[in-house]
Structure 1
Amino acid sequence: MSTTPIHLERPDGKGLAAGTLGLWGSTVIGLASTAPVYSLVASLGWVVIAVGAQAPIAFVLAFVPMLLIAFAYRELNNAVPDCGTTFTWGTKAFGPWVGWMGGWGVAVAGMVVLANLAQIASVYFWSLIGQDLENNDWRVIIVAVIFIAAMTWVSWRGVEIGERIQNILLGIQYLALVVFIVAVFWQIVSGNAPNSIEFSWEWMNPFAFTSWSGFTEAILLALFIYWGWDTCLALNEETKDPKRIPGRAALLTCVILLFTYVAVTIAAMMYAGLGETGTGLGNEEHADDFFLAIKDGLLGPFGWVLVVAVIISAVSSTQTTILPTARGTLAMGVYRALPARFKDVHPVYKTPSFSTIVMGVVAIAYYVGMTLISDNILQDSILSLGLAIAFYYSITGFACVWYFRADLRKSPRDLFFKGIFPLLGGLMLAAAFVQSAIDMWDVDYGYSVIFGIGGTFVVGIGSLAVGLVLMFVWYLFPRSKRYFGGESLNMDTEVMVPEDVSEFPRSIDGGI
């Protein structure tokens, strides 16, 4: 392996818009990426069905590995603030093969969730104007494609305009959640919530779970609901302080999400109860559209507020989900892990132009293709999303431990934040990955059966397997040789993001 520092072909790193985002802007984009309202709509009912009254503590427990992995992201970002994140760190720690698959895990998660985000936004859009349409209705498909295309354009146009839009959209989301919580307690106090139940501290008891499979299913669903905070790190090269702001923004995002999800979950349980009929949270008929089921009873003529909040949340996250994937593939293009076109940066907008457009096109193709083939398979891909998330988060945790292995004896702080915490987070997520894959094998887990086994397992594991195939195909191309040979990216590759973004190197020494 080469020990000579490898330099990028530009004096300004990869050419992104350095110095654009501060702590607040990074945090807003991290929160927007998780789509708080949409995530609750898509997951809350299923978590309650899986673990009943233990839903609040399930969200707390799922937060633990997220926090531990957030520490790993922070420490790795301090040392290597590269927009490739898991791809770059995994390659530096474990070599090109593991790093490439880590980058693929990020791409798969982004592609799958974009399809669902667009579909949810479209379904709720039509519901807002009084049309209750099926997921595979051509009108739903057309509007969903328009949403993806529009948000792809915003992402291509520049991270600054995206940040301004996200400030507004995130504010509306949290205003809607405040309205929801206030309305819940008003209805309970006034006696207009017939299915309401009293709060119990037993809901926060981590030892009250009655089913191991239900527990692991809830944790995986909760991982999905937190997923997205790492977008802060993918934009590290575009922040005003690349080594510090992204890590702080990621930790702040995680904490805000914890309080948001637990508070809304408790309020929803107190208002709707856990029943399996009507608007009860245990009713599978409303598990994926809880807000639609309760909006009229809760807010009366103002029920549209919740519908608008879901639309805004889904559209908002559509745009921010494109950001990390486009920057991940940009880094892969720069370091020769993908074709050279992926490293193209727009000369004016300073965005990964080709990568962003490819992300939008692939997401549209995947969404339309899956919807036309079988909406059940598309829904199974959403249920399997936790596998890709757990996969690349665990790689990041293990990469942190191995990358900093020489530092672990220097101080207690290094031991915990660079070693023990990331290792525990990685082990937890790896265990969740294995257990969930086992559960998904069951034909009753999801919506479809493929090859006699659960469609969720086939789609989830199959999507990662496709990455293996593509990686070996790329290995055959001449441009890949310096990457797979450990030359274009290794432990000694120079970080091209100075602490002071106004002081980029004036000279270029060689090229990748």
Structure 2
Amino acid sequence: MSKHVGAGGGLRADALGRFDSVVMAVAGCGPAYTIAVTLPALIAAVGVAGPAVLLYCAIPMVGIALAFRHLGRLDPNAGAAYAWVGRSLHPFLGFLSGWAVVVSTTVFMASSALPAGSATLALLGLDTSGSTLLPTAIGALWFLLVAGVVMFGARISAHAQTLITGAQLVLLVVFAVAAMAKDGNAADFSLSWFGFSHFGSEHTFVGGALIAVFAYWGWDVTSNLGEETRGGRRGSGFGGVIGVLMVFALFTVFTISVNILIGTDAVRRAPGDFLTVLGDAIWPGWGGRLLVLAVLLSTVATLNTSLIQATRTLFAMGRDHT
């Protein structure tokens, strides 16, 4: 693999600032989407010990983000892991790393079309339980819209992400604050939720950790944008570290809110509807629908970052004639 020269090769240097990098990292993790899809699985696996799993998985994740930041300072590259693994270990391992990113993002983009369409129809008050054709078609339209935005370059994508992710974060923060201000119906807050006393034969840390690692996936898109980030070597990877810390705070607050307001048994009984139940417990009437809106915004934002990560990785591999 030949080392690329500068930040050229078709990429626009200085298209993104540090703030844009943070936005991309948060959007890549898809906090609202992850809360809706991953939190029920995490609670089913570890019960009230969800905050402990999120905390102890966040520590190595921050370490990985710091390592990516250091690699990005040494060599800003649109291929990120593909390029760094190939040059430090072996070109073939870099090739596999690149294709692993492309395959995983492609699978996610295909699988998230249905939830995006279902969330859109749910906001309109339409029942989608009997068919998958209409939600899939609407999800495909969302994907085409996102692809059109990405085609205009990183600068336009960053503006769109700021609007979408900003609206999502406002909704989530408002609900998080409201949840912390309400009296608990299911349980009282306990620091033991951050310890290991709740793990045993039924709830294992390893099972929860596998789910939590997936929850943090996506922040690394900032590494693929290193060549397009203002400041180059100095600014590369900064957003990933901040993004991991921000989503950790959101995931933890919502997990604690579930333990306090509705309880883990309610999530196990209806994992698909738990966000609506939690939203109504926080804000009766409109709460559930607003959280569904946050999930829709999160899904669209994550589609954007997934497409960016796949295209930048493929661009770097093509530039190296791989």
**In the alignment, is the contact (CA less than 8 A) between 2:45 and 2:204 conserved in 1?**
yes
* 2:60 aligns with one of 37, 43, 65: 65
**In the alignment, is the contact (CA less than 8 A) between 2:32 and 2:172 conserved in 1?**
yes
* 2:247 aligns with one of 236, 250, 257: 257
**In the alignment, is the contact (CA less than 8 A) between 1:83 and 1:331 conserved in 2?**
yes
Q: TM-score, normalised by structure 2?
A: 0.93
**In the alignment, is the contact (CA less than 8 A) between 1:117 and 1:317 conserved in 2?**
no
* 1:104 aligns with one of 99, 109, 114: 99
Structure 2 Cα separation of the partners of residues 123 and 238 of structure 1: 34
* 2:231 aligns with one of 241, 244, 255: 241
Structure 1 Cα separation of the partners of residues 126 and 204 of structure 2: 35
Partner of 1:317: 302
- Give deviations 1:75-131, integer Å, cap 9, x for gaps: 211111111011101110121211111111111221122123322111111111112
**In the alignment, is the contact (CA less than 8 A) between 1:42 and 1:289 conserved in 2?**
no
- Structure whose CA Rg is larger: 1
Structure 1 Cα separation of the partners of residues 96 and 319 of structure 2: 16
- Give deviations 1:369-419, integer Å, cap 9, x for gaps: xxxxxxxxxxxxxxxxxxxxxxxxxxxxxxxxxxxxxxxxxxxxxxxxxxx
- Give deviations 1:44-88, integer Å, cap 9, x for gaps: 111111011110010011112211211221221111111101110
* 1:220 aligns with one of 210, 213, 216: 210
Structure 1 Cα separation of the partners of residues 130 and 298 of structure 2: 18
1:28 aligns with 2:23: yes
Structure 2 Cα separation of the partners of residues 12 and 185 of structure 1: 45
Partner of 2:282: 298
Q: TM-score, normalised by structure 1?
A: 0.60
Partner of 2:78: 83
- Give deviations 1:143-195, integer Å, cap 9, x for gaps: 0111111111111111111111111111211211122223334542xxxx6x4
Q: Which runs of 5+ in 2 are unaligned?
A: none
Letter in 2 for 1:155: V
Q: How far is the alpha carbon of 1:136 from its aligned partner? A: 5.5
**In the alignment, is the contact (CA less than 8 A) between 2:46 and 2:203 conserved in 1?**
no
1:27-426 mapped onto 2 (5 Å cutoff):
27-134=22-129, 137-188=132-183, 195-211=185-201, 214-275=204-265, 280-283=266-269, 285-286=270-271, 288-303=272-287, 304-337=289-322
- Asked which structure has the greater RCO (Cα within 8 Å, sep 6+), the reply is 2
**Secondary structure at the counterpart of residue 246 of structure 1:** coil
**Secondary structure at the counterpart of residue 199 of structure 2:** coil
Q: Which runs of 5+ in 1 are unaligned?
A: 338-512
Structure 1 pair 78–316 and aligned structure 2 pair: CA distance change class (3 A): same
Structure 1 pair 198–207 and aligned structure 2 pair: CA distance change class (3 A): closer
**In the alignment, is the contact (CA less than 8 A) between 1:119 and 1:135 conserved in 2?**
no
Q: 22-31 or 124-133, which moves further after superposition?
A: 124-133
**In the alignment, is the contact (CA less than 8 A) between 1:58 and 1:219 conserved in 2?**
yes
**In the alignment, is the contact (CA less than 8 A) between 2:262 and 2:281 conserved in 1?**
no
**In the alignment, is the contact (CA less than 8 A) between 2:47 and 2:203 conserved in 1?**
no
Structure 1 Cα separation of the partners of residues 302 and 249 of structure 2: 19
- RMSD over aligned Cα atoms: 2.1
Letter in 2 for 1:263: V
